[in-house]
Amino acid sequence: MSDESTTKIITLVCERSLDLRAHVNNLGQLKDLPDVEIVKFPCSGMIQPLMVEAALKSGASGVIVCGCQLGDCYYREGNRMIRERLLGQRPPGLRKTVDRRRVVALWLSRPQAARFISEAKEFIELVSQLDKPGTDVNQSTKPSIDNH
Amino acid sequence: MSKVLWAITILILSTVCVGVVVFMPLAELGLLNSPNSVPLESSTWLQFTGIQNLVKFGRISLLTLTHGMQESPNFQYYAYFFFLGIALMLASVALIVIGHEEPQEKTVLPRKK
Amino acid sequence: MYTQPLNKVTLALEQWINAVVTSKYNPLYYHGALPQFFLWVLFLSGLLLFAYYVPTIDNAYSAEKLINAYTTVEYITHIPFGATIRGIHRYAGDAMVIAILLHMLRVWFTDRYRQYRIVQWLSGIVLLLLVLFIGQTGYYLVWDERSLALTRMTAKSFDVLPIIGEPLKWWFLNGQEITNYTLSNFLFIHIGLSFSLLFGLWIHYVRMQRPVLTPPPVIQFMLFALLSILLLWYPVTSGSMATLTQQPTAFEVDWFFLWPYWLMTQMNLQAYWLTIVTGVIVLCMLPYFVHTKEVEAAEVVTKKCTGCSLCSRDCPYAAIEMVPAPAGSRFKLLATVKSYRCSGCGVCVGACAFDAIDLPNLLDTDLTAKITASAKG
Ligand code: SF4
Ligand code: SF4
């Protein structure tokens, strides 16, 4: 980690879902939360699990994947595809060694930017606790909700 | 926290559903049309339980709801479908309530052991 | 894009519904499956009605016991549940038109009808016209005064068409004038064309992987419940039997199916046909009014592709075909993109673990580089 005090979060977002234009500076960071970097995709289905791994490997503390509401994908099935890939229900999936707690996926439609920001804050909170030296890494700080 | 509330709602809804399903054959038998056509032995039972009055009441309130239906010779069949519709409606509401999960706006990945 | 405000309205509506019933049960997320559901309801109820129906206009059997189309419909209305099945059949038809309009408006508002979706849009228009015509023939079959008036109006409207008018009328009436053969023709059109809908639907679906064909049971229950409850308020009726010697003057209009006949009464027949044809042409041209940049189709890097066919399975538009690999390759199969079907969505890029398929204007290696850079930065 380049800087101990910051918690870098990479957000991989479908450009058709969240409309973050009002909340992003020209560096592609959230204005309120400059630690959150935004990378846009034409569809969340384009996100490769490899990209999530790459982000974590190069020092990001967490990755947020964001697509449209489930059931509503401009390209029909993209968000369902990436969801199933992240959950390991559809190849290619994430490597076993990837810390699942550092990845979260949100399914939000265009007007839901406020929801995104509050979720991002919560996620930063969670991830920064994982980053604290000395914490038991195997102890989950939050019970994970199982989505089938 | 509101698990009890949910359980009660579901219980009430399912009771209503069962009630409606019991009610439907009555409509099919034409009981809604003329209470006199009920076989004697069951009619005492119906009177005893007061279901007949309920049927009468249901019929009258349905007729007032749908003025103009009086002349229809097929009232009982429409009534049957009406209750079928109500039952289906309740069933779907119950299904939504029972199958209710966290709104799927967030996916947290399950941890591998 | 000119549909932006409309898109916003749709999104707001959908978000509101999501808040009430969650995205799992949002009927707007199954808008294509709704007409399909009503189609099955119509097939089933239609089958039951078909069992009793006799397609003749006069007494084809004996002078005393009049058996014809009208009396069989009357008979159906009086047997147990006959009237309700008839009602379900009629209102499911109306509901299907509503569902199709909803489907059409949503794909239009959310800009999902152009470019790689053109086949769906055009076949959709054909399907809509077919459904309207089939619905109208359903109204002829009852053979009450309205049916007679509609039949005559249709025949008359064919008269003004040049060249094809005469044969069309002949085909429609199954002869020179209204006879018993006319009604058997109507029955054939009604049922035969209904089955041709299935062929149209195949074309409608062929460019989609895993089309959504059935709404979840909860929505099916709800829709059927709505139909059955509405029946009580609006039981189906028919007028008195048609007599060929009389000309009925007024009838009730079912606005979902019979609006063209209303149109006919508002203008002369030439203007009527002009309106209809222009309307259809405008609908077909709608996708070409908006100009946006061409879709850049995904491209396979032949040297890297291992033929694992993950991309072809995931492509939402069935745009990737697995072909035998060229001679000398280590692998059996090779992915090929049918560029006319490709939407440029990149789902295949997400599916490929070998970096073997790319969107030419947005390389995944660039994206990964960007991600790594910002993670380090
Ligand atoms: S997923 Fe990649 S490697 Fe597999 S068939 Fe498609 S292009 Fe080839
Ligand atoms: S970009 Fe890939 S997944 Fe998307 S339509 Fe084209 S070939 Fe299919």
Q: What is the ipTM of this complex?
A: 0.83
CA–centroid distance, A50 to ligand 1, in Å, is 15
Task: Report the pLDDT value the prediction gives residue A142, as an integer from 0 to 100.
Answer: 42
Cβ burial C208-227 (10 Å sphere, 16+ → b, else e): bbebbeebbebbbbbbbbeb
Q: Tell me the residue type at C346.
A: G
For C135-145, the pLDDT digits (tens) are: 999 999 998 88
Q: Which residues line ligand 2 (CB under 6 A)?
A: C 298, 315, 317, 319-320, 337, 342-348
Mean pLDDT value across chain C: 88
Are B100 and C21 spatial neighbours (Cβ–Cβ below 8 Å)? no
Mean pLDDT of all residues in A118-141: 73
CA–centroid distance, C311 to ligand 2, in Å, is 8
Task: Report the pLDDT value the prediction gives residue C374, as an integer from 0 to 100.
Answer: 82
Percent of chain C with pLDDT over 70: 97
Distance CA A108, CA C15 (A): 9
Of A58, A82, A110, nearest to C350 by CB-CB distance is A82
Query: Could you tell me where the DSSP H helices lie in chain C?
Result: 4-21, 33-50, 69-78, 82-109, 118-141, 145-159, 165-173, 180-205, 217-233, 259-266, 269-289, 310-314, 347-351, 364-376
Give the CA-trace dihedral at A40, A43, A49, A55, to 10 degrees.
Answer: 0
Reported as a pLDDT band with limits 50, 70 and 90, residue C4 is confident
Mean pLDDT of all residues in A114-123: 89
Mean pLDDT of all residues in C306-323: 92
Distance CA C235, CA A72 (A): 37
Residue A145 with chain B: CB contacts under 8 Å: 102, 106, 108
Structure-token pair, residue A49: 């699990």
* Predicted confidence (pLDDT) at residue C277 exceeds the cutoff of 70: yes
Reported as a pLDDT band with limits 50, 70 and 90, residue A64 is very high
CA–centroid distance, C346 to ligand 2, in Å, is 5
Of B92, B99, B103, nearest to C222 by CB-CB distance is B92
* Predicted confidence (pLDDT) at residue C317 exceeds the cutoff of 70: yes
- Residues sharing a CB contact under 8 Å with residue B82, sequence separation 6 or more, in sequence order: B62, C228, C229, C231, C232
Centre a 10 Å sphere on the Cβ of residue C265 and count the other Cβ atoms it contains: 9
Question: How near does any CA of chain B get to the CA of C225, in Å?
Answer: 4
Structure-token pair, residue C60: 């084809």
* Predicted confidence (pLDDT) at residue A141 exceeds the cutoff of 50: no
Q: Tell me the residue type at C350.
A: G
Task: Report the pLDDT value the prediction gives residue B113, as an integer from 0 to 100.
Answer: 52
Residue A78 with chain C: CB contacts under 8 Å: 316, 345-347, 350
**Strand-pair category, A9-14 with A36-41:** parallel
* Coil, strand or helix at A98: coil
* Coil, strand or helix at C347: helix
| Of A46, A135, A148, the residue nearest A99 (C-alpha) | A135
| Of C96, C104, C86, the residue nearest C39 (C-alpha) | C96
| Of A68, A67, A65, the residue nearest A105 (C-alpha) | A65
Of A70, A96, A100, nearest to B104 by CB-CB distance is A70
**For A10-19, C54-63, C119-128, C163-172, which range has the lowest pLDDT when averaged over its residues?**
C54-63
Task: Report the pLDDT value the prediction gives residue A2, as an integer from 0 to 100.
Answer: 43
Please state the domain extents for chain A.
9-147
Whether the CA torsion B34, B91, C34, C216 is positive or negative: it is negative
Mutation for A interface: B101, B102, B104, B106, most A CBs within 10 A? B106
Question: Touching C: which chains, 3+ CB pairs < 8 A?
Answer: A, B
Question: How near does any CA of chain B get to the CA of C325, in Å?
Answer: 37
- The full set of domains in chain C, from first to last, is 4-289 (1.20.810.10), 299-376 (3.30.70.3270)
Residue ranges of chain B whose CB lies within 8 Å of a chain C CB: 62, 66, 69, 72-74, 77-82, 84-89, 91-92, 95-96, 99-101, 103-105
* Predicted confidence (pLDDT) at residue C318 exceeds the cutoff of 50: yes
**For B34-38, C196-200, C352-356, which range has the lowest pLDDT when averaged over its residues?**
B34-38
For C191-212, the pLDDT digits (tens) are: 999 999 999 999 999 999 898 9
Mean pLDDT of all residues in C15-30: 84
Residue A82 with chain C: CB contacts under 8 Å: 350
**Strand-pair category, B106-108 with A103-107:** antiparallel
Q: Candidates C299, C300, C306, C347: which one to mutate for ligand 1, based on the most atoms within 8 Å of Cβ?
A: C306
DSSP for residue A24 = B
For A20-50, the pLDDT digits (tens) are: 888 888 777 887 788 888 888 999 999 999 9
Task: Report the pLDDT value the prediction gives residue C91, as an integer from 0 to 100.
Answer: 93
| Of C341, C339, C328, C332, the residue nearest C308 (C-alpha) | C332
**Strand-pair category, C320-324 with C333-337:** antiparallel
Minimal-distance CA residue to ligand 2 atom 6: C342
Task: Report the pLDDT value the prediction gives residue B35, as an integer from 0 to 100.
Answer: 54
Distance CA C192, CA C189 (A): 5
**For B15-29, C246-260, C286-300, C320-334, which range has the lowest pLDDT when averaged over its residues?**
B15-29
Whether the CA torsion C119, C124, C129, C131 is positive or negative: it is positive
* Predicted confidence (pLDDT) at residue A143 exceeds the cutoff of 60: no
Residue with the larger pLDDT of the pair A86 and A138: A86
* Predicted confidence (pLDDT) at residue B58 exceeds the cutoff of 70: no
Are A95 and A41 spatial neighbours (Cβ–Cβ below 8 Å)? no
Interface A:B, Cβ pairs < 8 A: 47
Mutation for C interface: B16, B20, B92, B98, most C CBs within 10 A? B92
pTM to 2 decimals?
0.86
User: At residue C354, what are phi and psi to the nearest 5 degrees?
Assistant: -115, 10
Mean pLDDT of all residues in C29-40: 93
Residue with the larger pLDDT of the pair A128 and C194: C194
CA–centroid distance, C117 to ligand 1, in Å, is 24
* Predicted confidence (pLDDT) at residue C61 exceeds the cutoff of 70: no
CA–centroid distance, C214 to ligand 2, in Å, is 24
Q: Tell me the residue type at A67.
A: G
Reported as a pLDDT band with limits 50, 70 and 90, residue C62 is low
Mean pLDDT value across chain A: 81
Distance CA C234, CA B69 (A): 9
| Of A145, A147, A102, A108, the residue nearest A123 (C-alpha) | A102
Cβ burial A88-123 (10 Å sphere, 16+ → b, else e): bebebebeeebbbbbbbbbbbbbebbeebbebbeeb
Give the H or E element holding residue A103.
strand A103-107
Question: How near does any CA of chain B get to the CA of C329, in Å?
Answer: 37
